Chain A
Amino acid sequence: MSEQPSKPQPGRVIPVGLAPSPRQTLPRLGPPPLQPTERKGHGQAERPRLASWRPKFHALAEAAIRVLAFSSIAAVVLIFVFIGKEAWPLFHDSAIWKEVTLAKMWFARQWPGYDAPEHIWQPVSEVPKYAVWPLVVGTLKVTLVAMLVAVPLGVGSALFVSQYAGRRLREIIKPTVELLAGIPSVVLGFFALMVMATWLQQALGLESRLNALVAGVALSFAIIPVVFTVSEEAFGAVPRSYVEASTALGAARWQTIVRVVIPAAGPGVAAGIALGLGRAVGETMIVLMASGNAAILSASPADSVRTVSATIAAELAEVVFGGAHYTVLFFLGALLFAFTLATNLLGEFAIGRMRRRLGGVA
């Protein structure tokens, strides 16, 4: 065999003997185009056909593939459109402005019965109050705790697996992390609520059983696999020649890791952290069950919090369709969506950058 039975790779070269001549029409083989002109007509007319494959069916089937293929673009577009559509009245409907406006959501207001202007989220009351800062700060607190736990554990164990662990240890750790990734978030929430909350309360003497700390730690369990998987791949993608060059210059193992491997894999690790961050901000069931769901505006992680995602989950089932509360919840959903899109694009950008950077060497 003259050619390698290799997996198709982007940018591969067509084997010499099989390069298309101008007159030939070959079916397109995998990713790179053989001939740019060959895309539209598939040359079915001059090709012998099996009896069961009628040309009409052919065209129909290929059209169906194309239509279905755009279902994923359509899904993203539709998500945008329909969440935007339900949140849109907040921007122009004067009936809703009587209860809440886009601007008033972000400022402290003087409510009847309170001494000073305050940020309060209390949509179901005689005077509905929609201050979103308690929710945003709550989300940030929980996310911060989760990232503080998940990043060292995720990146650390990825480093251990890729640099120090032997084969046997690796084959224990990697499936275990996959197992952790497979645990449904409602189960993590359940564990945090039933078991961890009690442990943490007893260990730290906290006032409220369910708080930002419990929710954040439980949330980190969902983030660790994301950070681990992406980081481990990044560490594994560092070319061996880098490590060999560093060792040849007399660097110790740890010096090679700290000064060569980690900087080279840096963008990949950053991508893992960005993806984890997006997941942490959007995760719902864990925080809904373990955070205590009290919209308190404070900096202490020992207070109960109500996050943006948990607010949507807890309140949407009981609102009037099209009312102010409903609209505000969709607006919060749009905020979440925009934030996670941003972190995803950031992560993708980081991965692309790392590929480009290492691509020339490998």
Chain B
Amino acid sequence: MKGRARTRSSRRFGDVALSLGTGLAAALVLLIVVVILGDVIYNGAPHMTLTFLTQAPRDGMTAGGIFPAIFGTVALVVLMTLAVLPAGVATAIYLSEYANPGSRLTRLVRVAVNNLAGVPSIVFGLFGLGFFVQFVGAGIDRALYGGQRVFGQPALIWAALTMAVLTLPVVIVATEEALAAVPRELRLASAALGASRLQTIARVVLPQALPGILTGAILAISRGAGEVAPILFTGVAYFLPKLPRSLHDQFMQLGYHVYVLSTQSPDVDATRPILYATVLVLLLLTFALNATAVVVRSHMRRRFAGASS
């Protein structure tokens, strides 16, 4: 029959078209990633030497290395982690171990966390300036330094705290996931032995959830290492002759270094190799962190899979 033949060919055509169309989309996405990474690696690798990693910039950023930017990035994320881990982990513990999931308060916390994750990073920068620098910092100056400007200006500590607020949802979500994956039998066993809830959490649940919490921390660090907008007004500097020595010093940072080199360089051709190598360092740093998170996470999954079977 004519009708059936047409149906069959249209069926096949539809499947071919849809799989080709969506496959093309996937191929394009792969291509984008390959081209970006390929370009950065091809142009950046030759210039990435030990001296580049360990020296300060020279001759108006056209020579030398990026050590101060690496140092500043590390200092920033270390301080950020110290701030975000306790707050994030405690929020997750509260949500999954204490809170009544139906209560309005719990739902409010959840909505707050979800929305915090969607706030644009530049808004965090505004917040950091308005709250940390102008309000907290200036307040500290009034109280302790007699109005002299010490903390009431952009500084490492304010940039780190701003970044901590930005990465809070990352830690909360990862920790909550990890806590939810701890088998209930363990909690019941602990309770049966007479442990209180806090004892159960501290001695049984948290050690089990540690890899998951670690994953969250690493993802947060990776995010914090790459973001630039939140620190624009809260502490980053274009060039500093010295490394930051105290919490109220300004600092250099890899991402900001990339931004400045690519937009404000007086001699684009002279800085190009340095720029590419800096981008490569930044990418390697964030990818290494992300890869570690993936490894830790899969390790955790295997462990739980083994425990429950």
Q: Closest approach, in angstroms, between the C-beta of A38 and any C-beta of chain B?
A: 10
Q: Closest approach, in angstroms, between the C-beta of B97 and any C-beta of chain A?
A: 7
B26 touches A156 (CB 8 A): yes
Q: A42-B196, A76-B115 are in contact. Are A180 and B33 (CB under 8 A)?
A: yes
B277 at the interface (CB under 8 A from A): no
For window 60-95 of chain B, which residues contact chain A by CB distance below 8 Å?
86-87, 90-91, 93-95
Residues of B within 8 A of A50 (CB): 195, 199
A345 touches B115 (CB 8 A): yes
Q: A32-B101, A189-B259, A348-B111 are in contact. Are A255 and B135 (CB under 8 A)?
A: no
A243 at the interface (CB under 8 A from B): no
B127 at the interface (CB under 8 A from A): yes
B259 touches A75 (CB 8 A): no
Bound Cα distance from A36 to B135, whole angstroms: 41
A178 touches B290 (CB 8 A): yes
Q: Closest approach, in angstroms, between the C-beta of B101 and any C-beta of chain A?
A: 4
A275 at the interface (CB under 8 A from B): yes
B233 touches A317 (CB 8 A): yes
Q: Closest approach, in angstroms, between the C-beta of B135 and any C-beta of chain A?
A: 7
Residues of B within 8 A of A66 (CB): 94, 98
Q: Which of A72, A194, A255, A278 has the most CB of B within 10 A?
A: A72
B196 touches A7 (CB 8 A): no
B196 touches A161 (CB 8 A): no
Residue from A26, A83, A178 in contact with B191 in the complex, judged by beta carbons closer than 8 Å? A26
Q: A66-B98, A82-B130, A193-B263 are in contact. Are A72 and B109 (CB under 8 A)?
A: yes
A113 at the interface (CB under 8 A from B): no
Helix, strand, loop or mixed for chain B's interface?
A: helix
Q: Closest approach, in angstroms, between the C-beta of B199 and any C-beta of chain A?
A: 6
How many chain A residues touch the partner (CB < 8 A)? 114
Q: How many B residues touch the partner, as a band?
A: 35 or more
Q: A82-B135, A190-B258 are in contact. Are A316 and B232 (CB under 8 A)?
A: yes
B199 touches A79 (CB 8 A): no
For window 1-55 of chain A, which residues contact chain B by CB distance below 8 Å?
5, 7-8, 10, 18, 26-33, 36, 39, 42-44, 47-50, 53
Q: Closest approach, in angstroms, between the C-beta of A16 and any C-beta of chain B?
A: 13
Q: A26-B191, A53-B196, A178-B290 are in contact. Are A79 and B262 (CB under 8 A)?
A: no
A65 touches B229 (CB 8 A): no
Q: Closest approach, in angstroms, between the C-beta of A84 and any C-beta of chain B?
A: 9
Interface segment among B47-55, B142-150, B177-185, B244-252: the answer is B177-185
Q: A180-B29, A184-B286, A257-B18 are in contact. Are A284 and B120 (CB under 8 A)?
A: yes
For window 233-248 of chain B, which residues contact chain A by CB distance below 8 Å?
233
Residues of B within 8 A of A347 (CB): 118
Q: Which of A26, A187, A279 has the most CB of B within 10 A?
A: A187
B258 touches A186 (CB 8 A): yes
Interface segment among A92-100, A128-136, A333-341: the answer is A333-341
Q: Closest approach, in angstroms, between the C-beta of A300 and any C-beta of chain B?
A: 23
B267 at the interface (CB under 8 A from A): no
A282 touches B98 (CB 8 A): no
B96 touches A31 (CB 8 A): yes
B94 touches A186 (CB 8 A): no
Bound Cα distance from A60 to B225, whole angstroms: 34
B109 touches A73 (CB 8 A): yes
B22 touches A160 (CB 8 A): yes
A78 at the interface (CB under 8 A from B): yes
Residue from A184, A194, A279 in contact with B228 in the complex, judged by beta carbons closer than 8 Å? A184
Residue from A27, A65, A75 in contact with B90 in the complex, judged by beta carbons closer than 8 Å? A65
Residue from B33, B40, B172 in contact with A72 in the complex, judged by beta carbons closer than 8 Å? B172
Q: Mark A164-189, 1 if CB is under 8 A from B, else 0.
A: 11000100110011111011111111
CB-CB nearest in chain A for B181:
A7
B258 touches A252 (CB 8 A): no
Q: A164-B22, A316-B232, A340-B118 are in contact. Are A183 and B283 (CB under 8 A)?
A: yes
A30 touches B184 (CB 8 A): yes
A313 at the interface (CB under 8 A from B): yes
Q: Closest approach, in angstroms, between the C-beta of B216 and any C-beta of chain A?
A: 14
Q: Closest approach, in angstroms, between the C-beta of B118 and any C-beta of chain A?
A: 4
A221 at the interface (CB under 8 A from B): yes
A191 at the interface (CB under 8 A from B): yes
A68 at the interface (CB under 8 A from B): yes
Bound Cα distance from A194 to B228, whole angstroms: 18
Residue from B19, B91, B112, B194 in contact with A68 in the complex, judged by beta carbons closer than 8 Å? B91
Residues of A within 8 A of B283 (CB): 183-184, 187
Known interface pairs A86-B134, A154-B29, A173-B29; 5 further A-B residue pairs with C-beta atoms within 8 A, sorted by A's residue number? A72-B87, A82-B131, A184-B282, A279-B118, A289-B262
Listed A/B pairs (10) with beta-carbon separation below 8 Å = A29-B191, A47-B194, A79-B127, A157-B22, A176-B33, A180-B32, A281-B120, A284-B121, A340-B120, A343-B118
Residues of B at the A interface (CB closer than 8 Å) are 11, 14-15, 17-19, 21-26, 28-30, 32-33, 36-37, 39-40, 86-87, 90-91, 93-102, 108-109, 111-127, 129-131, 134-135, 165, 168-169, 172, 179-181, 183-185, 187-188, 190-191, 194-200, 202, 222, 225-229, 232-233, 255-256, 258-259, 262-263, 272, 275, 279, 282-283, 286-287, 290, 308
